[in-house]
Amino acid sequence: MSEKEEQDQAMNEGPSKPAMREALVAAAFELFLERGFEQTTVDDIVSLAGVGRRSFFRYFPAKEDVVFPDHERSLAEMTEFLDSGTGEEDPVRHACGAARLVLRMYAEQPSFSVQRYRLTRKVPGLRAYELSVVWRYEHTLAAYLRGRYADRPDGPLRADVIAAAVVAAHNHALRTWLRSGGESDWVAEVDAAMAFVTDAWSERPSSGSGAGEDPEDDVVVLVASRKAPLWRMVQGIESALGNN
């Protein structure tokens, strides 16, 4: 398919048809699961998706990137969430709130996330790529925390240690959920993991969220526009719970 034909296809594509990016991801995973990651080429993927090579590289710099198509968006949402703070909120809880956004991204597509988890366990190159993605999340959290702890002598050390703790706790919750095939309660998993971090590092009294909370706690109902970004809804919940 020529570049002009691809452009015409994109212009004629109706809203009910899958976007080309999603079509490439679907084709790639179908082939990865059928043939294996190493045995699948970019040419194989674009052939199955019915597009040209230019379309693939317009969305994904390399074959590995098609396995993790949502992380750029997730990193942007995390950064926006962290930047939305007023400076008065507890920095540890705010960092934990940002980590919740990442796990929610996985939970939005449980079948795809479980397939990706199983694939990355089999391909060493993908595990290494995944570690580089995790480092970017940790780096983003650490940068935020360094700013919040800038007036402390131990600020850089504290920021790096807490960021690592948040990422480790998040990954524990994520792996627990993935190993269940996406069947366990991911909200309970991440709440317990983040409560563990805040109990260890927050300098403010616990609000009672997470493990060991009173089953008769108040119910919080959040009303938000469908167009509201996810980080703003999380921020609203945190504010209602008194975490800020």
Asked whether residue 215 carries a pLDDT value surpassing 60, the answer given is no
Fill in the amino acid letter for 72. Answer: E
Query: For the packed helices 186-201 and 155-179, what is the interaxial angle rounded to 10 degrees?
Result: 160
Asked whether residue 203 carries a pLDDT value surpassing 90, the answer given is no
Look at residue 222 in the predicted model and tell me its pLDDT.
55
Q: What is the dihedral of CA 128, 133, 135, 139, to 10 degrees?
A: 160
Structural tokens at position 32 = 């990865």
Task: Look over the chain and give the mean of its residue pLDDT values, rounded to a whole number.
Answer: 82
Q: Report how far residue 66's alpha carbon sits from residue 59's, in angstroms, rounded to the nearest whole number.
A: 8
Look at residue 10 in the predicted model and tell me its pLDDT.
44
Q: Report how far residue 212's alpha carbon sits from residue 200's, in angstroms, rounded to the nearest whole number.
A: 15
Contact indicator for 25, 69 with CB cutoff of 8 Å:
yes
Asked whether residue 205 carries a pLDDT value surpassing 50, the answer given is yes
Contact indicator for 134, 120 with CB cutoff of 8 Å:
no
Contact indicator for 200, 165 with CB cutoff of 8 Å:
yes
Look at residue 102 in the predicted model and tell me its pLDDT.
93
pLDDT per position as a tens digit, 14-61:
333 448 888 999 999 999 988 889 999 999 999 999 888 998 999 999
Asked whether residue 216 carries a pLDDT value surpassing 50, the answer given is no
Contact indicator for 101, 150 with CB cutoff of 8 Å:
no
DSSP class of residue 141? Answer: H
pLDDT per position as a tens digit, 2-23:
544 554 444 444 333 448 888 9
Q: Span 109-134, mean pLDDT?
A: 90
pLDDT per position as a tens digit, 58-89:
999 989 899 988 888 899 999 999 999 888 99
In this prediction, what percent of the chain has a pLDDT beyond 70?
A: 76
Fill in the amino acid letter for 45. Answer: I
Q: Report how far residue 47's alpha carbon sits from residue 31's, in angstroms, rounded to the nearest whole number.
A: 11
Look at residue 206 in the predicted model and tell me its pLDDT.
55
Q: Span 160-183, mean pLDDT?
A: 96
What residues contact 63, with CB distance under 8 A and at least 6 apart? 28, 37, 40, 41, 42, 45
Which residue did the predictor score with more confidence, 210 or 95? 95
Q: Report how far residue 242's alpha carbon sits from residue 244's, in angstroms, rounded to the nearest whole number.
A: 6
Q: Report how far residue 19's alpha carbon sits from residue 156's, in angstroms, rounded to the nearest whole number.
A: 43
Look at residue 237 in the predicted model and tell me its pLDDT.
57
Which residue did the predictor score with more confidence, 227 or 192? 192
Fill in the amino acid letter for 218. Answer: D
